[in-house]
Amino acid sequence: MSTLIQATALTKQFGSKLALDNVSFEIQKGAPVALVGPNGAGKTTLFSLLCGYILPTKGTLSILGYNPGSSELFGKLSALPQDAQFDPRFSISHQLAFYGQLQGLSSKQSQAEAIRVLELVGLAEAAKQRADDLSHGMRKRVTIGQALIGKPQIVMLDEATAGLDPIHAREIRQLVSELSSEATFILSSHDLTELERLCSHVLHLDKGKLTEHPKQNNSNGQQTGFITLLLNEQYADVEAKIQALAGVSKVYMSQAKEYVVEYQKAATPFDITLLQYCYQQGWRYRQLVNGHTLENQIFKQETV
């Protein structure tokens, strides 16, 4: 694996405010990485440091072996702010080509690049349309296309699905997942569950401090598995009833209507058994995740 980003004891202070406190992490090439944390946790500060917009108070940061903001990184790292917008007066292909030219491409190359990135985000047919003619979700796809101009190795997306309805948000996550062979994505969000299935590596910031969470992989040959079941309603005796199922070693309620089940793996997949059991009991379920939800990994792992 190759290391894209290495942060060591990174600290950023704004006056007396400690926005990042002795943060160290490594990001490898590959699957998307989540940067999550509540408002004021330090996510934007970390993005700004990675882009080279601001300098750390202490510590070191290396991106592809270079200092953030150095000219060697031009075109290798791109960042998309949450409120990225297109000019309503010009077609999207025109504007994307313009961004290509800003990156040093010739007029012809930049037009080909605009079409390439629009194809990547599934919008080649909308090339001649203006941003105002597109839906919110389509506009978001175009901005992701913009971030891919010049084939950067690292793409940072700030709150990529903010303001989108659940269907468009899912489409964007799907798109990022599909594009993961093109670039390594770092996605920031204050919502842990949003990046649940997408990211294999979670950087969790809270009050400037970092904890890292490699996503648990239940297909690693271990005999114990976990399932997180979110029911639609509060039903009676759910914990006790699931606990009584064959192969279940532990059940606990992680939050209202959500249960984490630890079970011993057997020939019959336990998720199927559990879904059949929900059906028999008349329990309607909202979500079933194989493994812990990220939220449970981060906040409640010690209770399992």
Ligand X SMILES: Nc1ncnc2c1ncn2[C@@H]1O[C@H](COP(=O)(O)OP(=O)(O)OP(=O)(O)O)[C@@H](O)[C@H]1O
> Which of 130, 190, 209, 265 contacts ligand X by CB under 6 A?
190
Written as one string, the DSSP assignment of 217-277 is -TTSS-SEEEEEEEESS--TTHHHHHHTSTTEEEEEEEETTEEEEEEE--SS-HHHHHHHH
> Which of 2, 16, 39, 219 contacts ligand X by CB under 6 A?
39
Question: Minimum distance between the CB of residue 82 and ligand X, rounded to whole angstroms?
Answer: 8
Question: Minimum distance between the CB of residue 141 and ligand X, rounded to whole angstroms?
Answer: 23
| Stretch of 35-43, 133-141, 147-155, 257-265 lying at the interface with ligand X (CB under 6 A) | 35-43
How far is C-alpha 137 from the geometric centre of its chain's CA atoms? 17
| Token reading at 135 | 């839906």
Under a CB-based contact definition with an 8 Å cutoff, are residues 34 and 187 in contact?
Answer: yes
Cβ partners under 8 Å of residue 299, min gap 6: none
Q: Considering CB under 6 A, how many residues would be counted as binding ligand X?
A: 12
Written as one string, the DSSP assignment of 3-39 is EEEEEEEEEEEETTEEEEEEEEEEEESSS-EEEE--T
Interface with ligand X, residue 43, by CB under 6 A: yes
> Which of 17, 89, 128, 151 contacts ligand X by CB under 6 A?
17
Interface with ligand X, residue 41, by CB under 6 A: yes
The C-alpha atoms of residue 226 and residue 235 are separated, in whole angstroms, by: 21
Of residues 252-271, those binding ligand X (CB under 6 A): none
Walk across the sheet containing 77-80 and list its strands.
Answer: 77-80, 154-158, 184-189, 33-36, 201-206, 209-214
Residue 187: CB atoms within 10 Å:
24
Question: Minimum distance between the CB of residue 197 and ligand X, rounded to whole angstroms?
Answer: 22
| Stretch of 33-41, 58-66, 167-175, 292-300 lying at the interface with ligand X (CB under 6 A) | 33-41
> Which of 11, 22, 28, 44 contacts ligand X by CB under 6 A?
44
Interface with ligand X, residue 45, by CB under 6 A: yes
Question: Minimum distance between the CB of residue 56 and ligand X, rounded to whole angstroms?
Answer: 13
Question: Minimum distance between the CB of residue 43 and ligand X, rounded to whole angstroms?
Answer: 4
In the complex, the residues that contact ligand X under the rule CB under 6 A are 14, 17, 19, 37, 39-45, 190
